[in-house]
Amino acid sequence: MAREIRLNAFAMNCVGHMSPGLWTHPRDRSSDYNRLPHWLDLARTLERGRFDGLFLADVLGVYDVYGGTADAALRHAAQVPVNDPLLLVPAMAAVTTHLGFGVTSTLSYEPPFPFARRMSTLDHLTDGRIGWNIVTGYLDSAARAAGRERQTSHDDRYDVADDYMELVYKLWEGSWDDDAVLRDRARGIFTDPAKVRRVRHDGPHFKLDAIHLAEPSPQRTPVLYQAGSSPRGRAFAGEHAECVFISGPSAKVIAPRVAALRSAVRAAGRDPESVLIFSMMTVILGHTDAEAEARHEEYRRHVSHEGALALMSGWTGVDFSTYDLDQQVRHVENDAGRTAMDNVSRADPDRVWTVREVAEHIGIGGIGPLVVGGPERVADAIEGWVEETGVDGLNLCYAVLPESFEDVVELLVPELTRRGRYKSDYQPGTLREKLFGEGRARLTAPHPAVAHRQAGF
Ligand SMILES: Cc1cc2nc3c(=O)[nH]c(=O)nc-3n(C[C@H](O)[C@H](O)[C@H](O)COP(=O)(O)O)c2cc1C
């Protein structure tokens, strides 16, 4: 049987997420992001479609590169207002049994000790269904919000991240033995102090002397996701990631990134096939190709080009308001994300992008490809994409929420299942077991986290 194709849903605790302006569509409900029923319904829908997980993006700053102000982002709700993603998780976990939750936390602005406890808490409350998308940020506005002048330079951010990871591994994996908690009512002992160790960390960026405050959770370390594709980002992923999110406009751009990522995993001494790679995609479905195409046209009328360029300016650190719409995009390198710029400047030498084309492309589903059609056409495109790129699955953006995901569940999932490319049931166990197999609730060697375990567990 051909390899299973995995699906993640990509969303954010904000309006419109990757489809700026689409919140104005009469059927879009993404502006209900601040109401819990909105998220509970979405979680139930995704579990009905046997999605592996809901991946929640996050930023800790505003997109204020475009025109030098946050006005365009605010006007078009380009990822602002944005609420905390972590706080949605327990509520969604309470109405689901299997769905995983990959939450983004920007380690540049989250002190590691309370963050490690927050993730352990979520791992407990979800019965081991939590994952962490490790990001270092790309917005100077986030650095200023944290009282800094500007963000740490691009590659140095990943050095800070390495130190952060070592510290949180020690807390999650090394502080408490599995049998430390006795809950022994007869003897009146809750925890055996001999089985809890102080963690000492004296790294280049972080220092700590403490015991982890949470008892061991089902997975201990959350499932580790990563999303940077620059050479330094890849090296970091090679070392730490269990799943990687990538994005790019075409298979031609994505395929070499997948290969480079797997090489980075090999260079870090790990099995390249042991890392699951998800690439971003948006699908617009209908019962027939014609119905889907009509829907696409209808959606397109709601795209905010200014909102799209506000996003692109934030991702790349380049003010797109200074360009003429018909000007070609040229490559610039700075301390924002590197891959977003590469996608439209040099990743595909045969494709020249104008600013207008960038705005139109990003307007529905960000920089990933957009596939429009009935279930068969879309399933064909997905099978072709997986074949050409070597990815393990897709990170599906929505155009209109929840319609886009409901269509995937009703129309695409049955088609992929019929073709033997999609699971007919969830695996039991934690998120890590669902992704990597039974008995794999915890990280295994040679992942670097394992080195921080003490003898005895
Ligand atoms: C699918 C995908 C999702 C991402 N989600 C987030 C996010 O939620 N928050 C964030 O700060 N960065 C996010 N990023 C950006 C990456 O973390 C990283 O900053 C960016 O890819 C640039 O890194 P690079 O220069 O190493 O490629 C995402 C990237 C991709 C491809």
State the Cα angle at 284 between 14 and 260, rounded to 5°: 75
pLDDT in tens, 77-101: 999 999 999 999 999 999 999 999 9
- Which tokens in the block code for residue 318? 């380049």
Q: Is the pLDDT of residue 348 over 90?
A: no
- Which tokens in the block code for residue 183? 């809950």
Q: Is the pLDDT of residue 426 over 70?
A: yes
Q: Which of 59, 82, 104 to mutate to test the pocket of ligand 1 (most atoms within 8 A of CB)?
A: 104
Q: DSSP 3-state assignment of 386?
A: helix
Q: DSSP 3-state assignment of 415?
A: helix
Give me the pLDDT at residue 414, please.
98
Distance CA 417, CA 419 (A): 5
Q: Is the pLDDT of residue 457 over 70?
A: no
Which phi-psi region, left, alpha or beta, contains residue 304 (left: φ > 0; alpha: ψ -120 to 50)?
beta
DSSP sequence for 276-305: EEEEEEEEEE-SSHHHHHHHHHHHHTT--H
Distance CA 250, CA 53 (A): 24
- Which tokens in the block code for residue 267? 């260079």
pLDDT tier at 339, thresholds 50, 70, 90 = confident
Distance CA 195, CA 180 (A): 5
The closest-lying atom of ligand 1 relative to the alpha carbon of residue 233 is 26
Give me the pLDDT at residue 330, please.
84
Nearest CA to ligand 1 atom 3: 227
Distance CA 236, CA 95 (A): 34
Please compute the mean of the pLDDT values over residues 50-67 and round it to a whole number.
97
How far are the Cα atoms of 90, 170, 209, 225 from residue 452, in angstroms, in the given order? 28, 5, 15, 19
pLDDT tier at 290, thresholds 50, 70, 90 = very high
Q: Which one-letter DSSP state was computed for residue 54?
A: E
The closest-lying atom of ligand 1 relative to the alpha carbon of residue 56 is 8
Q: Residue 39: which of 366, 401, 397 has the closest Cα?
A: 401
pLDDT in tens, 299-309: 999 999 999 99
- Which tokens in the block code for residue 150? 């500007």
Distance CA 357, CA 349 (A): 16
Q: Give the start-to-end residue ranges of the domains of the chain.
A: 6-304+367-451
pLDDT tier at 143, thresholds 50, 70, 90 = very high
- Which tokens in the block code for residue 314? 């934030």
Please compute the mean of the pLDDT values over residues 123-150 and round it to a whole number.
96
Handedness of CA 433, 439, 442, 446 (dihedral sign): negative
Give me the pLDDT at residue 456, please.
39
pLDDT in tens, 312-338: 999 999 999 999 999 999 888 887 877
The architecture that CATH gives domain 6-304+367-451 is: Alpha-Beta Barrel (3.20)
Q: Which of 109, 110, 133 to mutate to test the pocket of ligand 1 (most atoms within 8 A of CB)?
A: 133
H or E, element range at 201: strand 199-202
- Which tokens in the block code for residue 190? 């809750």
Query: Which residues surround ligand 1 with Cβ inside 6 Å?
Result: 57-59, 104, 106, 135, 137-138, 227-230, 233, 245-247, 280, 337-339, 395
CB neighbours of 197 closer than 8 A, spacing ≥ 6? 174, 175, 176, 211, 454
Please compute the mean of the pLDDT values over residues 23-30 and round it to a whole number.
98
10 Å CB burial of residue 423 (0-12, 13-18, 19+) is: middle
Q: Is the pLDDT of residue 1 over 90?
A: no
Instruction: For residue 140, report the distance from its CA to the centre of ligand 1, in Å.
Output: 14
The closest-lying atom of ligand 1 relative to the alpha carbon of residue 232 is 26
- Taking the CA atoms of the chain, what radius of gyration do you get in angstroms? 22
Distance CA 154, CA 135 (A): 12
How many angstroms from the chain centroid is the CA of residue 430?
A: 18
pLDDT in tens, 165-188: 999 999 999 999 999 999 999 999
H or E, element range at 10: strand 6-12
Q: Residue 14: which of 77, 62, 82 has the closest Cα?
A: 82
Answer whether 138's CB lies under 8 Å from 227's CB: no
The percent of residues in the chain predicted with pLDDT above 70, rounded, is: 99
Answer whether 311's CB lies under 8 Å from 424's CB: no
Alpha helix (H) residue ranges in 126-250: 140-145, 154-174, 231-240
- Which tokens in the block code for residue 411? 């129309």
pLDDT in tens, 4-22: 999 999 999 999 999 999 9
